[in-house]
């Protein structure tokens, strides 16, 4: 059985990240590293944990195509399995990124994930340029751009997954902002439980604060694992 729960290591130190890895490795399938930890622990540390665990590098690259391509290639050299870009990068960049993904994935497992609309946005808090379309239509439009490019990995909330999978059944959908029913939403707006996300068709769940802010991170990770994989 593949464990598709990833713990977001959104913490401030290498020491705390390593404590969490030690406490949760039996219950999660991999770890997400973002800028908060990367700038503290450094790229060599990311490379070292990539030798032992599946790693998802979440830096959401959004730049001119050449800069994005170079950044993705550098990320691959760290040994990570997943890396994020913004779907807003546009069709020219997405097509070139797909070609690079094809090249790199021949060497080992590697997937580029295009972020649609952040799960911290609601209809009320969308940027003005997206308000006329709204969250659902914006996610659908961006997912369509990604699909046309040939890329198949996207990041979206669990709220949108079911509809997207109906239109694009071979999308690989990553769902952040996952919460147990008794957890605080914090700054996340479009949230689902782990079971709801998987039942909707999510392929990977990203869980952060419900685990790393828990008094007992191991128990929290185990609870989320059991909510998904034990009936």
- Could you tell me the pTM of the whole model? 0.90
Which has the minimum average pLDDT: 47-56, 65-74, 123-132, 146-155? 123-132
pLDDT above 90 (res 125): no
Residue 182: what pLDDT? 55
Residue 185: what pLDDT? 44
pLDDT above 90 (res 195): no
Residue 58: what pLDDT? 97
Select the highest-mean-pLDDT range: 89-98, 124-133, 187-196, 221-230: 89-98
Q: Percent of the chain beyond pLDDT 70? A: 94
Residue 105: what pLDDT? 98
Residue 148: what pLDDT? 96
Residue 60 is among the residues annotated as catalytic for this protein: yes
For the stretch 5-44, pLDDT in tens is: 999 999 999 999 999 999 999 999 999 999 999 999 999 9
Which among 32, 52, 60, 95 is annotated as catalytic?
A: 60
More confident residue, 120 or 197: 197
Which of 194, 175, 35, 80 minimizes the C-alpha distance to 118?
175
Domains of the chain (ranges, CATH numbers): 5-229 (3.20.20.70)
């Amino acid at each position: 059985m593949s464990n598709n729960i990833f713990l977001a290591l959104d913490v401030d130190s290498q020491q705390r990240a390593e404590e969490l890895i030690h406490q949760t490795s039996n219950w999660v399938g991999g770890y997400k590293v973002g800028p908060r930890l990367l700038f503290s622990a450094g790229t060599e540390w990311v490379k070292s944990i990539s030798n032992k665990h599946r790693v998802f590098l979440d830096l959401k690259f959004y730049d001119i195509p050449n800069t994005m391509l170079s950044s993705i290639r550098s990320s691959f050299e760290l040994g990570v399995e997943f890396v994020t870009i913004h779907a807003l990068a546009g069709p020219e960049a997405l097509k070139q990124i797909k070609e690079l993904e094809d090249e790199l994935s021949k060497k080992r497992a590697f997937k580029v994930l295009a972020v649609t609309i952040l799960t911290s946005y609601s209809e009320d808090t969308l940027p003005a340029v997206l308000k006329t379309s709204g969250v659902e239509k914006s996610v659908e439009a961006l997912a369509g751009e990604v699909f046309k490019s040939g890329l198949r990995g996207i990041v979206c909330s669990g709220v949108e997954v079911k509809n997207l999978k109906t239109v694009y059944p071979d999308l690989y959908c990553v769902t952040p902002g996952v919460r147990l029913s008794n957890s605080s939403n914090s700054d996340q707006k479009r949230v689902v439980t782990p079971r709801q996300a998987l039942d909707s068709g999510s392929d990977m769940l990203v869980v952060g604060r419900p685990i790393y802010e828990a008094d007992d991170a191991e128990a929290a990770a185990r609870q989320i694992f059991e909510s998904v994989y034990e009936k």
